[in-house]
Structure 1
Amino acid sequence: MNSDLIAKIAQIASVLEVSGHPKPGNVHRTRDYDDMCFEDFLISGIVIGDLMKKAAERGSKYRDDYSLHKIRLGEIIKEAVIETDKWIGNNTNLGIIMMLTPISVAAGMSHNFDDLRKNAERVMEATTSRDALNLYDAINIADAGGMGEQDELDVSDAEARARIIKEDISMYKVLEMSSKWDLLSYELTNGLPVTFETGFPTFKEIKHEYGINKATIQTFLTILSKNPDTLISRKYGNDMARIVSADADSILQNGGILDPHGEFLINEFDKQLIKNKLNPGTTADLTASSIMVAFLEESWFK
């Protein structure tokens, strides 16, 4: 697939995700946070375009198993975070960048949609220790709430960085260590199951009948109902994350955004999450990756 088209789809996915209204507990078109606003996320989604194009171009160039390490995935992630920081000075999109970059690479190397998921797995498995260090830099630049903080190989620990080089610990292995407690890490080291098996099919189905905004919200709720949000877990514990997921599931049982009563419940859920400072940010990242995959499929079959 053409790298310019892939970059545009990545930008579209980022902008549509934040535009989803009312996306409970997150910034959306009528909801800002004290330290970041809707427009910050729009800018963030646009400025990563050049880096997603670079990712797609490297995927097209280095598609053989022996050359996949030359993609330098961690470097592109870091550059995208730096570019965002230049414009925003805040962490609006680290998780989205982590998700959309390997998908952009995989789209660049894939001849058809059926190859996309497997190629994303190949890209992740071929990452190097240099990729891991660049990811650590990206996390530190973004100052991402708790991401990468662990007993083993903590991102803020200089000795951990030295160990990564000495033991040649790849980005894939670092994320694998975090996968028990971080959903994005699990997603990236297990073949993107939430994106491809939950988010993408939900978005595709709902968009066809109800349009983009309702598809975005229903996808967000569906992902959240099945997967306790690990950003909430890191800040408030697993029990609270499970309660939030149960609330999302209850709303879906009432039709979600597709039903007037469900829509009322979503608005109340949004107010409740904001009041209690519960931000399902990981769910938002996975919603963005799901939207990107849906638009990639649509473009392949046009």
Structure 2
Amino acid sequence: MTRDVSAETDATDPVDDATLALLVEVAGTPKPGNVDRRRDLDDLRFEAFLGGAVGARSGLELAAETGPTTGEPPVVGDAFDRAVAGMADRAGTNTQFGCLLLLVPLVRAAADPDRELSPEGLDAVCRSTTVEDAIAFYRAFERVDVAVDDPPPGADDLDVRRGSDAEPALREREMTLLDVLALSADPGDPETPEDPERVPDRNAAEWTEGFPRTFRAAEWILSDEGPLADRAARAFLGLLAAEPDTLVASTQGAETAREASAWAREILEPDERDPKAPVGDVSAVDADAVHGADLDAAESLAEEFVAEGINPGTTADLTCAALFVALRGGAEVAP
């Protein structure tokens, strides 16, 4: 039985919950291949993520605001750009770029009295984005280094690595932020749309699909027991087992990304006849398997991933987003 997380909304400030989600996500351990409270990476330290969470707050506050007279939300892109700038200033590096890309529309939906924190509410927020949002999104790429794939065929002028230089192309094509992310969510070659080697951008897909991974993982967290950080670590394993990680695919290739997901699934379902068979999507992951995940076994996998440089950062982004929805649905850090 799953809970309708969209039907329960806590009275706390959504900005507080977003900040707490950023903090609990990095505190959860083990999250194989990622920074957590027990391990750093060579170029990233635990405390940098704490700084990034604090620095991002002003952007999250902007996402939660409404206009003084019209009630219209602020530019989503500006809120994201401000959050990234604050993160970079306080952390000194890119710690939570992908988390913020998911949190900004989530905070917007949670703060808007005319919308709900639901797939429908998120769809409305994402569809309301404009060309100005897209321009601000591109500007954020000038603030930190972000691992991204090459743009889809015929879209070189929309390469996010161009930053503000892409503004003329965005205006000429009238590309909203949702339009840009739709390209990232499905960047395949039109002549080979079913390319089996392609790993889609999971964060971009959340924007175009109504945040299914976020809400499913939030259900796992809400129906789980124990410390919230442990629940987050188990949800991370569930998300990784469900689908290959985008960042791993970008940095180490699709085959490595699929192998990483297979290893996570072995922890969730060690008695399966073929534990390396792909799950396919997040809805196919059994909640009981997530709740029963062996975190001791995940510790060993974490050491292996760090040694191999396998960093499922997109899975961490989705875990953070799920934590926000779970906190809005009543999850607590208190025992």
1:108 and 1:236 mapped to 2: Cα distance? 38
The residue number in structure 2 matching 1:269 is 301
2:62 aligned residue: 54
Contact 1:231 1:279 in 2 (8 A): yes
- C-alpha distance 112-191 of structure 1, shift in aligned 2 (>3 A): closer
- How do 1:53-132 residues align onto structure 2 when only pairs under 5 Å count? 53-58=61-66, 67=72, 71-110=74-113, 115-132=117-134
Find the aligned partners of 1:141 and 1:126 in 2 and give their Cα distance. 25
Q: Distance in 2 between matches of 1:41 and 1:143?
A: 15
Distance 2:241 2:91 in 1: 31
Cα-to-partner distance string for 1:47-66 (whole Å, 9 max, x where unaligned): 22232122112389766xxx
How many residues get paired? 288
Tell me what 1:165 maps to. Answer: 171
Q: Distance in 1 between matches of 2:219 and 2:65?
A: 27
Aligned with 2:180 (options 174, 178, 202): 174
Distance, in Å, in 2 between the alignment partners of 1:111 and 1:225 is 36
TM-score (norm 1): 0.88
Following TM superposition, by how much is the alpha carbon of 1:264 offset from its aligned partner in structure 2, in angstroms?
2.8
Superposition deviation, residue 154 in structure 1: 0.6
Q: Which residue of 1 aligns with 2:29?
A: 21
**Counterparts of 1:129 and 1:37, CA distance in 2:** 35
Distance 1:61 1:216 in 2: 39
Aligned partner of 2:41: which letter?
Y
Is the partner of 1:156 in helix, strand or coil? helix
Structure 1 contact 60–105 (Cα < 8 Å) conserved? no
Cα distance in 1, alignment partners of residues 80 and 268 from structure 2: 34
- Asked if 1:224 is matched to 2:243, the reply is no
What's 1:155 paired with? 160
| CA drift at 1:80 | 0.7
In the superposition, the TM-score normalised over structure 2's length comes to 0.80
In the TM superposition, residue 236 of structure 1 has moved relative to its aligned partner by 1.5
The offset of 1:92, in angstroms, is 0.3
- Kept in 2, the 8 Å contact 1:257–1:263? The answer is no
CA contact (8 A) 1:24 1:269 kept: yes
Moved more, 168-177 or 155-164: 155-164
* Structure 1 residue 74 displacement after superposition: 0.6
1:186 equivalent to 2:188? Answer: no
Q: Counterpart in 2 of 1:6?
A: 14
User: Residues 21 and 213 of structure 1 are in contact (CA less than 8 Å); yes or no, is this contact kept in structure 2?
Assistant: yes
Query: Structure 1 vs Structure 2: percent identity of aligned residues?
Result: 29
Structure 2 gaps, min length 5: 1-8, 187-199, 271-288
**Counterparts of 1:257 and 1:39, CA distance in 2:** 28
Aligned match of 2:279? none
- Superposition CA RMSD, Å: 2.4
Distance 2:13 2:142 in 1: 30
Q: Say whether residues 1:199 and 2:210 are aligned partners.
A: no
Larger mean Cα displacement after TM superposition, 120-129 or 13-22: 120-129
